[in-house]
Amino acid sequence: MLYIIDILGTIAFAISGALVAFDKRMDVFGIFIIAFVTAVGGGTLRDLLIGHTPVGWMNDLTYTYVIIASTIFAIGFRSKLNYLRTSLLLFDAIGIGLYTLIGLEKGVELHLHPILCIALGTMTACFGGVIRDILCNEIPVVFRRETIYATCCIMGGVAYFALGALPLDHNIVFLASGAIIIATRLLAVRFKIALPNIYRD
């Protein structure tokens, strides 16, 4: 199941990256590169931090094939995606939800402290987007004050361990935590929820 979730997260982030590349009017090669780094950037950082080398996508070509197929899909159906910003938001929210859970599970497998597991999950979810935004000459969304991003991952991670302490099936805990991340991210953007501003305009 963890492998399937990882593949779904890869698809979501690859499409998310491709949509940003469309917005920047990149060529086909540029679209693929942005899709690729968005999809594997967080997982690469995670694997390097926990000493799992070669990193996941180098050990399994399925990830590369999935990214290529997702990019082709995004290009082929670009005309159907009339609201690119809405589509980007949806796929990005799904991506951070799934990747946070993957990072959490990796940390749990290594018997890391819950705080470190949450940090690992957050980095897994966010780092690909950071690379994407830097390459696209944007302030990384995780650092923008007008919306919450990493906070959603942290909230989902806290929920993961809180629900895990209850007599609940692990699959329910897994799905509920992912739903909290995705829903929180979508609601934050919809209602412009942000962390407190410490600056005086």
Contact assessment for residue 30 and residue 38, using Cβ atoms and an 8 Å cutoff: no
What is the DSSP-derived secondary structure letter of residue 147? S
pLDDT tens per residue, range 17-64: 998 999 899 999 999 999 999 999 999 999 999 999 999 999 999 999
User: Measuring CA to CA, which residue among 132, 128, 154, 130 is closest to residue 142?
Assistant: 130
pLDDT tens per residue, range 117-141: 999 999 999 999 999 999 999 988 8
pLDDT of 144 strictly over 90: no
Picking from 104-113, 141-150, 183-192, which range would have the lowest pLDDT averaged per residue? Answer: 141-150
Whole-number mean pLDDT of the chain?
89
User: What residues contact residue 103 under an 8 Å CB cut-off, 6+ apart?
Assistant: 42, 46, 117, 120, 121, 122, 123, 124, 125
Q: What residue segments make up the domains of the chain, in order of their start?
A: 2-142
Rounded Cα–Cα distance for residues 34 and 51 (Å): 25
CA dihedral 185, 187, 189, 190 (to 10 degrees): 160
Provide the whole-model pTM: 0.88
